[in-house]
């Protein structure tokens, strides 16, 4: 009898011959050598692409979790790759450290977040992989390899964003910062003003992002800056309630779009502003219960407003069933070979669709807009690109593929989906 697996949204499913949960790198090496192939690895299943899908073996990192060691003088921590971000936040706070930045979901495993270039927002803040000091992987022969930034910088840059295809990540050492507090503010403004003042708004704060609520004409702007003030109470979050309201308006007023728009606009304009100070781990993450599918593209920073305006126009003219907010962030450039942020300041635009609906028509219609502006897709979110497309977007593509062949000479980690992504002939 085969096992069954699905990702968080339920869009990607698999029936592998084996689902295994090794307890350490030694067991992981044995699995890589002997388990039915292809061998794919899963952290929390929060990717929306078929990265994990395999008819061979899916390796769960759920038992490879927790703190291994830490260096207080340099604010470094070595952790196992299956550690969930929610747990990692508390581990780091307990040793006086903090992640410099985070996205708004803390359910992912750090290994998966690193492997797919997951990120937060801030023009001077890089994605999680930019914190890497050391990387321990189990290669395609089942051998443990370790790379250090000080002596193996090219290998860190090659394997820091690896999609689970350059070996299985088992442990990493992260460069963190001393624990800190943030002042977070939220307010609503017209989307026309946001697009007009995009560069000023997005660069005026340590971290800034905004959400556009479809059919409202308004965005919710979120700014976070370092603070030494005393902590104050974080307002009660009601994102899930807001989503339910937007879904009801979409469904109940499909026959009268003008009334729907008026009601949404009125509700969004009345959203109260927020202003509070909290320790970093109590600021970034939000509770996400309503399941969705997502596409996110990373564009040259200066092209963000033009692309977003086109995506909004597309959505509101052709896809009235979409009600999830669009998320817009910025990310600092880096030197990691398969990073979507490689050598360019980035504006990231994410679009979402309720998991109860077929996301493909909306995503397929939006993708040409992102591609027109030279967008690079988020590795863990929906896209249709293959090797020939991707090679044009990544200057170090061939170098990365050469490293991958060295680490995995027998293609143990290459599923049909990965073969299409990397241009590997079976």
| 276-290: pLDDT as tens digits | 999 999 999 888 888
CATH of the domain spanning 67-178, picked from 3.30.465.10, 3.30.390.10, 3.30.420.40, 1.10.287.610 = 3.30.465.10
Q: How many residues appear in the chain?
A: 426
Q: Residue 5 pLDDT > 70, yes or no? A: yes
pLDDT tens sequence across 351-399: 999 999 999 999 999 999 999 999 999 999 999 999 999 999 999 999 9
Q: Which residues pair with 377 in a beta bridge?
A: 297
Determine the pLDDT at residue 236: 87
Where in the chain are all domains bearing CATH 3.40.462.10?
A: 181-377
In angstroms, rounded to a whole number, what is the distance separating the alpha carbons of residues 19 and 10?
17
Determine the pLDDT at residue 426: 65
Least confident among 96-100, 120-124, 186-190, 266-270: 266-270
Q: Exposed, middle or buried, 251 (CB in 10 Å: 0-12/13-18/19+)?
A: exposed
% pLDDT > 70, the chain: 99
Confidence of residue 255 (pLDDT cuts 50, 70, 90): confident
Instruction: State the alpha helices, DSSP H only, in 253-287.
Output: 257-269
Long-range pairs for 251-255 at CB < 8 Å and ≥24 separation? Answer: 254/320
* Residue 303 DSSP symbol: G
Per-residue 3-state assignment (H helix, E strand, C coil) for 64-96: CCCEEEEECCCCEEEEECCCEHHHHHHHHHHCC
Confidence of residue 177 (pLDDT cuts 50, 70, 90): very high
Least confident among 264-278, 336-350, 358-372, 410-424: 264-278
- The phi and psi torsions of 359 (rounded to 5 degrees) equal -80, -15
Nearest C-alpha neighbor of 241 from the set 286, 303, 304, 196: 286
CATH architecture of 181-377: 3-Layer(aba) Sandwich (3.40)
pLDDT tens sequence across 142-160: 999 999 999 999 999 999 9
Q: Residue 1 pLDDT > 80, yes or no? A: no
pLDDT tens sequence across 192-220: 999 999 999 999 999 999 999 999 999 99
pLDDT tens sequence across 217-244: 999 999 999 999 999 999 988 778 888 8
Mean pLDDT for 95-116 is 96
Mean pLDDT, the chain, integer: 95
| Helices and strands (DSSP H and E) totals, the chain | 13, 20
Confidence of residue 88 (pLDDT cuts 50, 70, 90): very high
In angstroms, rounded to a whole number, what is the distance separating the alpha carbons of residues 240 and 256?
24
Close Cβ partners of 68 (under 8 Å, ≥ 6 residues apart): 78, 79, 80, 171
Contact status, residue 417 vs residue 51, Cβ threshold 8 Å: yes
In angstroms, rounded to a whole number, what is the distance separating the alpha carbons of residues 345 and 133?
22
HSE-CB for 48 with a 13 A CA cutoff? 23
């Amino acid at each position: 009898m085969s096992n069954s697996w699905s990702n968080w949204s339920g869009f990607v499913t698999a029936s592998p011959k084996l689902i295994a949960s090794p307890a350490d790198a030694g067991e992981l090496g044995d699995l890589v050598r002997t388990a039915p192939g292809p061998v794919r690895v899963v952290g929390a299943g929060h990717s929306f692409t078929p990265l994990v899908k395999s008819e061979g073996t899916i390796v769960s990192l759920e038992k490879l979790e927790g703190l291994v060691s830490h260096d207080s003088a340099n604010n470094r921590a070595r952790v196992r790759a299956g550690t969930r971000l929610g747990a990692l936040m508390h581990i780091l706070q307990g040793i006086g450290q903090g992640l410099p930045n985070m996205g708004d979901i803390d359910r992912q495993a750090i290994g998966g977040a690193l492997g797919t270039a997951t990120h937060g927002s801030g023009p001077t803040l890089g994605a999680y992989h930019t914190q890497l000091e050391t990387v321990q992987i189990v290669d395609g022969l089942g051998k443990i390899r370790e790379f250090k930034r000080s002596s193996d910088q090219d290998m860190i840059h090659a394997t820091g964003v690896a999609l689970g295809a350059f070996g299985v990540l088992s442990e990493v050492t992260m460069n963190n910062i001393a624990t800190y507090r943030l002042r977070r503010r939220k307010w609503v403004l017209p989307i026309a003003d946001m697009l007009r003042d995009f560069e000023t708004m997005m660069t005026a704060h340590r971290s800034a992002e905004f959400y556009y609520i479809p059919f409202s004409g308004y965005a919710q702007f979120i700014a976070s800056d370092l603070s030494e003030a005393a902590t104050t109470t974080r307002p009660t979050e009601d994102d899930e309630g807001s989503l339910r309201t937007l879904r009801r308006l979409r469904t109940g007023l499909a026959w009268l779009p003008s009334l729907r728009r008026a009601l949404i606009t009125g509700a969004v304009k009345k959203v109260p502003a927020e202003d509070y100070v909290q320790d970093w781990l109590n600021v970034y993450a939000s509770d996400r219960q309503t399941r969705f599918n997502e596409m996110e593209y990373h564009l040259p920073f200066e092209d963000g407003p033009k692309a977003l305006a086109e995506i909004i126009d597309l959505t509101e003219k052709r896809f009235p069933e979409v009600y999830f907010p669009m998320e817009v962030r910025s990310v600092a450039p880096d030197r990691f070979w398969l990073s979507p942020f490689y050598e360019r300041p980035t504006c990231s635009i994410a679009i979402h669709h309720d998991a109860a609906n077929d996301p493909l028509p909306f995503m397929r219609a939006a993708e040409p807009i992102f591609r027109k502006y030279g967008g690079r897709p988020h590795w863990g979110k929906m896209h249709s690109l293959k090797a020939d497309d991707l090679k044009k977007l990544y200057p170090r593509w061939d170098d990365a593929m050469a490293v991958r062949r060295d680490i995995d000479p027998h293609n143990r980690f290459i599923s049909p989906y990965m073969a299409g992504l990397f241009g590997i002939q079976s």
